[in-house]
């Protein structure tokens, strides 16, 4: 069984007035919504993996303040077709697995493959893909459903995930 992971499609990353806007992130929304509907129709889990930082998170030394828990910027964008029974995993680092219960949730649901969408291809998507592979999950990355700050980093990350992590890039 597989699960759809929607990584960091949050107001601070998707909206132009966000703390760290990703230029192409807003363009991913229609594609991700189609994937959400497909997974829902098949009765498969939809999991939003979301940056959620404390006011004094060490990561701010690298990226500046963003996605502070409880603020508008840490909210999932309104345009995504989120429903009450979709799962939300809050994270404080790049990987959706780092110090979260994502692995437990996936195991509990009998998930063998994760399908990744969201931002940034070369940061949070990449590290979540790596940690999924390390834990024995199959990894599929939907190339139309991920974006990065620039095309060079995006393409590098897709190639790296395909060649090194043996992820399926479709």
CA distance 120 to 127: 10
> What's the 3-state SS for 109-164?
CCCCEEEEEEECHHHHHHHHHHHHHHCCCEEEEEEEEEECCCHHHHHHHHHHHHHC
CATH number of the domain located at residue range(s) 2-169 in this protein:
3.40.50.850
Average pLDDT by stretches of 10, the chain with 170 residues: 98 95 96 98 98 86 88 96 96 97 98 98 98 98 97 97 97
Domain ranges of the chain: 2-169
- Edge-to-edge strand order for the sheet containing 138-147? 87-91, 46-51, 2-7, 113-119, 138-147, 168-169
In sequence order, the 6+-apart residues with CB closer than 8 A to the CB of 117 are 4, 5, 6, 7, 9, 28, 31, 32, 35, 125, 142, 145, 146
Residue for token pair 């508008």 = 72
Residue for token pair 């429903």 = 83
Kindly report whether the global pTM for this prediction surpasses the value 0.85.
yes
Q: How distant, in Å, are the alpha carbons of 27, 86, 87, 161 from that of 157?
A: 19, 27, 26, 6
pLDDT value of position 63:
85
Q: Are 55 and 135 in contact (CB under 8 A)?
A: no
SS3 content of the chain, % helix, strand, coil (to 5): 35, 25, 40
Measured N-to-C along each axis, helices 151-163 and 126-134 cross at an angle, to the nearest 10 degrees, of 10
């Amino acid at each position: 069984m597989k699960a759809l992971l929607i990584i960091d499609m949050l107001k601070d990353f998707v909206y132009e007035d966000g703390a760290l806007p990703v230029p192409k992130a807003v363009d991913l929304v229609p594609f991700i919504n189609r994937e959400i509907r497909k997974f829902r129709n098949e009765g498969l889990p939809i999991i939003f993996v979301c940056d959620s930082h404390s006011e004094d998170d060490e990561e701010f030394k690298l990226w500046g303040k963003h996605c502070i828990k409880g603020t508008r910027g840490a909210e999932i964008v309104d345009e995504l077709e989120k429903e009450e029974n979709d799962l939300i995993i809050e994270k404080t680092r790049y990987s959706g697995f780092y110090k979260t219960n994502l692995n437990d949730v996936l195991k509990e649901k009998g998930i063998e493959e994760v399908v990744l969408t969201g931002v940034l291809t070369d940061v949070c998507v990449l590290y979540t893909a790596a940690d999924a592979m390390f834990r024995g999950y199959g990894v599929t990355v939907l190339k139309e459903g991920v974006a990065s700050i620039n095309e060079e980093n995006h393409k590098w990350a897709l190639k790296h995930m395909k060649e090194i992590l043996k992820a399926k890039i479709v």
